[in-house]
Amino acid sequence: MTNTAYPKILVVDDDKLTLDILTSMLERDGYQVTPVTSGKEALASLDREFYNLILTDLVMDGMDGLTLLKEAKKTSPESIVLMITGHSSIETAVNAMYAGAMDYILKPCERADLLFKVQRALDRQRLGKIAKQKEKQDALLELVRGLADTLNNRMTTVVALGELALGHLQHREIEKANGRLKSAVAAALRVTEVVNELLMVTSYVKKEKLFTADIPFIFSSLRKNFAPFTIKVTGDGQNLSVKALDNIPLAFEKIVRNAVEAMNGKGGIEVNINRIRDQNMVEIRFIDQGSGITREDISKVFLPFFTTKGTRAPGLGLWTAYQVVTGSNGTIHIESEAGKGTKVIVRLLIAETQD
């Protein structure tokens, strides 16, 4: 009987004898093994279910191990890949590790070496999941703290303005009371905006369905919204569409707004959009000439309510951009130095093969 507590391993080799030997070694150690004889069969299996580890021969007829690695990472990015190779193809195996494989095993496969490297890879995967869970918990804690501070500060302001308004009313200073009440309402509305944005973003990132988003349309809207601030778009990918959550324009808006504030609303930014052909992705670089970010603060910029803008009210800003981009199976990171401007670099999947 199959023990579902054991990790699932997909073994790929076009040599039936080798495939049977590898399968037997792993099953004797308790792993759930699915053997297939081609990269095409492997990808079909990955479409049907998740495998903790993919063990594949590097040199195969048809789809080779390196091509399978690249395709598998698109379908199942959380799966670990180990390569099996002969001495003559070690250099190619090392290149495969640069492409995302965790390790390689030399032929002929010794049982002890095979089981050691498989177990080590699975241990790394498990520790990585624990670390990611810890990161999520820390991020949630920061979010709660930031939200609590924002609510406390804003409501303290509302209460103080309300008390001042009451004082003005007692002295029949109607205009002053009216002004205080308007300021109190504005502070309360800001709290509502932050909470609504938080609810919207967290509801969106739970969705798994991705949509096609047109890059030219998004940047046309951004230019209108931020005029007279200029947004210059360049690169060979500016007419592409991307595969993303349908609120990806909000992520771009947050990035541009951050740049506008860093440059005090003056001048403009450059956006370089270029294909990453071997990954079927597009890279979007938002480049501003603002005040920049210190090394100490770069690690904090995607935390909710973090700001480098002094007394200006903190919000969700780049945290929102991070949640939407990563929720779209993309990546986002920042390059910056104090006084030298900032680059926000986003990578997203291209919606389909586009010439």
CATH topology (fold) of 8-109:
Rossmann fold (3.40.50)
Q: Rounded distance, CA 83 to CA 55, Å?
A: 6
pLDDT interval class at 340 (50, 70, 90)? confident
Q: Where are the domains of the chain?
A: 8-109, 133-206, 207-355
The per-residue b/e assignment along 1-40, b for 16 or more CB within 10 angstroms, e otherwise, is eeeeebbbbbbbbbeeebbebbbebbbeeebbbbbbbbbe
Nearest CA-CA partner of 329 in 279, 285, 287, 286: 279
Name the pLDDT band for 4 (thresholds 50, 70, 90).
very low
Per residue in 93-112, pLDDT (tens digit) is: 677 777 778 888 888 888 99
The pLDDT of residue 86 is above 70: yes
β-bridge partners, 34: 10
- 247-293, pLDDT tens digit by residue? 899 999 999 998 998 888 888 999 999 998 777 899 999 999 988 88
pLDDT of 204 reads 52
Tally Cβ neighbours within 10 Å of residue 160.
14
What tens digit of pLDDT does each residue of 298-321 get?
878 887 667 765 544 455 778 889
- Which is more confident, 127 or 271? 271
pTM, full prediction: 0.52
Q: What is the pLDDT of residue 320?
A: 85
pLDDT digits (tens, 9 = 90+) for 46-69: 999 999 999 999 989 999 998 999
pLDDT band (50, 70, 90) for residue 168? confident
- 36 or 187: which leads in pLDDT: 36
Determine the Cα–Cα distance for residues 42 and 14; give it in Å rounded to an integer: 11
Fold of the CATH domain 207-355: Heat Shock Protein 90 (3.30.565)
Please give the span between the terminal C-alpha atoms of the chain, in angstroms, as a whole number: 50
| Predicted pLDDT of residue 77 | 86
Q: Is the pLDDT of residue 136 over 70?
A: no
Which residues have CB under 8 Å from 135's CB, separation 6+? Answer: none
pLDDT band for position 1 (50/70/90)? very low
pLDDT tier, 166 (very low <50, low <70, confident <90, very high otherwise): confident
Note the pLDDT of residue 135.
Answer: 65
317 contacts 257 by C-beta, under 8 angstroms: yes
Amino acid at 256: V
